[in-house]
Amino acid sequence: MTAIDFVHWSNKFAIWADNYRKTLRSRPVRPNVQPGDISSQLPVSAPETPESMENIFKDFEDKILPGITHWQHPGFFAYFPANATPVSILAEQLCNAIAAQCMLWQTSPAATELETVTLDWLRQAVGLPAKFTGVIQDSASSATLAAVLTMRERALAWQGNTEGLQSNKQIRIYASDKAHTSIDRAIWISGIGSDNLVRIPVNGELGSMDIDDLKDAINKDREAGFTPAGIIANVGATSIGSTDQIKDVATVAGSENLYLHVDAAWAGSAMICPEFRHLWAGVEKADSVVFNPHKWLGVQFDCSAHYIREPEALVKTLAIQPEYLKTHGKDGFVNYSEWSVPLGRRFRALKLWFVLRAYGLEHLRTMIRNHVSWSMNLANRLDSEPDFELTSKPVLSLFAFRYVPKGTIEAELEDINQKLLNNINDDGRIYLTQTKIGGMFMIRFQAGSVETTEADVKLAGDIICELARNPV
Ligand SMILES: *Cc1c(COP(=O)(O)O)cnc(C)c1O
């Protein structure tokens, strides 16, 4: 390979990264580019001969960076956060250098054992009982797929992997109609089919699955000859934070002998604060739970914490042991690749370990409490403005609103709010996204960036009001 000055570039990138973080506020959160603007600047084929690092880096700065959405920007209030503390970034630098494949215990014993230890720290931190064992998945989508496959195999007496889904048993899975699309995809990929995902309507202030409807659906399905296999419950669903009553759902799952998986992808990180745990009361009765430290705990993507009450069922579903993957002459270890769909695994535990140690739980709790209270203040402010309306009550740091200027009629509001959202995002100081509930268009707000301050959230309120009342 061509020699490059590794130390020179590595140092240069460290200085670049520091400056990047410090200048985030001066950049538009979402780039103002059109589809094709970036790719049209790039050659259509790879070079035959080496190019200099100077040129490559210059193109990175000139052509790539202007097309980046800055997720670590303090004005990032869109979607859900994908926050990254500086310590997490540093840990990833070490992982990059080591570049280990951590699929089996023996392919990096320390990676496996650190994963076991840090996930147990995190389990205690969020108040899950000791009977839960954790594994780091690349994403909540993967954890939910693993859970759905486990539901399927359990319901098919562990024959599905060999016989396929030809048996007469038509499996049914239940979730609220606010569940994330990762659940739909898990149902597709597992071969269960979206017709067999039964959507239960929600009610109540938190948007919880109607328990009677859930019971009815299960009973009707049994009578019709279907095989109910599992329930997926939400804690803080993506659109407006809909949250199921886990305790009640778990009671149904228990009496119906169904597997219960809890998707707390975003909200789960907040459970390091005991005062928020009422949101998932009853979670100890679930069979598995997933949440993403890569969303709101300062541990950058990818780090999804998947806790399982009986890992044996998961391993029975996913493990496959050809001779070339066996470890002879040792026992008393786990091979985490048997707990997930992909074989290959990055060394993900290191950044979690660094973050938990460098900040400590108290500091992380303060970060989350700040996000929640700043966001709540903004919700209260918009609620008190005569021309704004809160369209969803805050759940942790998430709420939705719309602009309702005097004299407008309902039919005009979607257009007005879509234009307001476009103006806000073209302005570039903050970034927000939208959702629709029951046909009503609304703008979402969530605070979760590690760089966000109280002043940033206040400024967001000023920008929203200013651009609503004086559209550009
Ligand atoms: C973000 C999110 C997911 C998907 O998370 P990935 O880690 O990106 O797969 C699933 N469920 C909910 C509720 C989410 O907010």
Distances from the Cα of 434 to the Cα of 157, 242, 418, angstroms:
43, 15, 8
| pLDDT tens by residue, 289-310 | 999 999 999 999 999 999 999 9
Nearest CA to ligand 1 atom 15: 238
180 touches ligand 1 (CB under 6 Å)? yes
Q: What is the DSSP letter of 71?
A: T
Residue of 178, 182, 291 to test ligand 1 pocket, by largest number of atoms within 8 Å of CB: 182
Cα 160 from Cα 240, distance rounded (Å): 36
Q: Ligand 1 mean position to 448 CA, how many Å?
A: 15
136, 141, 301: residue to mutate for ligand 1 pocket, most atoms within 8 A of CB: 141
CA of 85 relative to ligand 1 center, distance in Å:
20
In the DSSP assignment, the letter for residue 65 is G
Domain 101-346 architecture:
3-Layer(aba) Sandwich (3.40)
User: How many angstroms separate the CA atoms of 303 and 297, rounded?
Assistant: 10
Q: What b/e readout covers 355-367, taking b as 16+ CB neighbours within 10 angstroms?
A: bbeebeeeebbeb
- CA–centroid distance, 320 to ligand 1, in Å, is 27
Residue 242 makes CB contacts below 8 A (sequence gap 6+) with 176, 178, 202, 206, 207, 208, 234, 236, 395
pLDDT of amino acid 248: 98
Residue 1: the pLDDT is 56
> Mean of the pLDDT values across residues 348-360?
98
Q: What percent of the chain has pLDDT over 70?
A: 99
**Could you say which DSSP state residue 236 is in?**
S
Give me the pLDDT at residue 167, please: 78
List pLDDT tens digits, range 423-465: 999 999 999 999 999 999 999 999 999 999 999 999 999 999 9
| DSSP states along 135-190 | EEES-HHHHHHHHHHHHHHHHTTT-HHHHTT-SS--EEEEEETT--HHHHHHHHHT
Number of helices and strands (H, E) in the chain? Answer: 14, 13
- 3-12 pLDDT tens trace: 789 999 999 9
- Read off the pLDDT of residues 87-125 as tens digits, 9 standing for 90 and up: 999 999 999 999 999 999 999 999 999 999 999 999 999
Ligand 1, residue 142: give the atom nearest the CA: 9
Q: Where are the domains of the chain?
A: 101-346
> Do 403 and 417 meet the contact criterion of CB atoms below 8 Å apart?
yes
